[in-house]
Structure 1
Amino acid sequence: MPTPRYILDLREHVGHALLHLPGVSGVVLRGQPSNAELLLVKRADNGRWSLPAGIVEPGEQPGTCIRREVWEEASVEVSVDRLAMLRTDPPKTYPNGDRCQFFSMTFRCSYVGGEAAVGDDESTAVGWFALDALPDLGERDRERIEVALPERGETVFLLT
């Protein structure tokens, strides 16, 4: 996945030091609650299905960012319904030694339009999945989906 230019610029100054970055993910639902489908992307970097996600760029609002990321990755237009979860993910070290920790915002989103299709080189496939027939997902994505499914609800804050 391409690293945003502003992060590359930061790395010139801080090397591999831990960066705290704002990240977003979207639980995008289509259809009625009784038969809703979930939008997933198959990541090019690890071959796993996951929620559309990305990094908030300088000056960008998080809600605008998730709309942009879903469009770029899956060619789907969404409306942002609510902030479902706010948490700090565990630190991550990339193969090149770069370290980061994401301040992660999960949004519940609704499908507005567009045909689900690979929109950039970050994904190899895009698809809609019935909630009772999801592919193998990581624990973090499953947690994000669970808290975002209710149409209304309080934002989940992790306190540990």
Structure 2
Amino acid sequence: MPTPDFILALREKIGHDLLWLPGVTGVVFDDDGRVLLARRVTTGRWGLVAGILEPGEQPAVGLIREILEETGVEARVESLVAIETLKPSAYPNGDKVQYLDLTFRCRAIAGEARVNDDESLEVGWFAPDALPDIPARELHNVKEALRNSPIPTFKTAS
């Protein structure tokens, strides 16, 4: 997906300065307990499905949209897994961002996993004990989603 219009409009005003954005991440399980992952075009690494919320969009609704857009899988949100402020980062063009990420446990309900947009090189299902190399934060969130606790994880100090 191209950069959302609202971000392009903000970038016209603030240039490459740090932009604070709400993000959502999904730990999507199928009926066999496998986790849905996508291998990103930007990094070549496998990771959980994630995206940016549109202005006014509810987090669970935005995540379901992102999962479908990126993978062709219809899902439903089951619970909140983690709330975390991610470290500031920069895109290759110099745009600086920092995300407040909400990670949700989700269940696939329809559709076949496939590359469904231009953000992924591959999409696939993986057993939790046979995951490819994914970022440590995402691996932690997979483990938390497997615990299926009613209380999300969050940091109380920076």
1:67 maps to which residue?
64
1:140 maps to which residue?
137
Shift of 1:91: 0.3
Shift of 1:152: 3.6
Structure 2 distance, partners of 1:145, 1:124, is 21
Alignment partner of 1:51 is 2:48: yes
1:23 maps to which residue?
23
Trace 1:76-155 onto structure 2 (pairs within 5 A). Answer: 76-155=73-152
TM-score by length of 1: 0.94
**Runs ≥4 residues deviating over 3 A:** none
Shift of 1:127: 0.4
Shift of 1:96: 1.7
Deviations 1:6-54 (A, max 9, x none): 00100111111111100000000112xxx51000011111111100000
Structure 1 distance, partners of 2:74, 2:84, is 25
TM-score by length of 2: 0.95
Show structure 2 runs of 5+ residues with no match: none
Shift of 1:141: 1.0
Show structure 1 runs of 5+ residues with no match: none
Structure 1 distance, partners of 2:80, 2:55, is 20
Structure 2 distance, partners of 1:18, 1:56, is 17
- Aligned positions, number: 157
Structure 1 distance, partners of 2:23, 2:120, is 17
Alignment partner of 1:158 is 2:149: no
Alignment partner of 1:14 is 2:14: yes
Q: Percent identity between the aligned chains?
A: 50
Q: CA-atom RMSD, angstroms?
A: 1.1
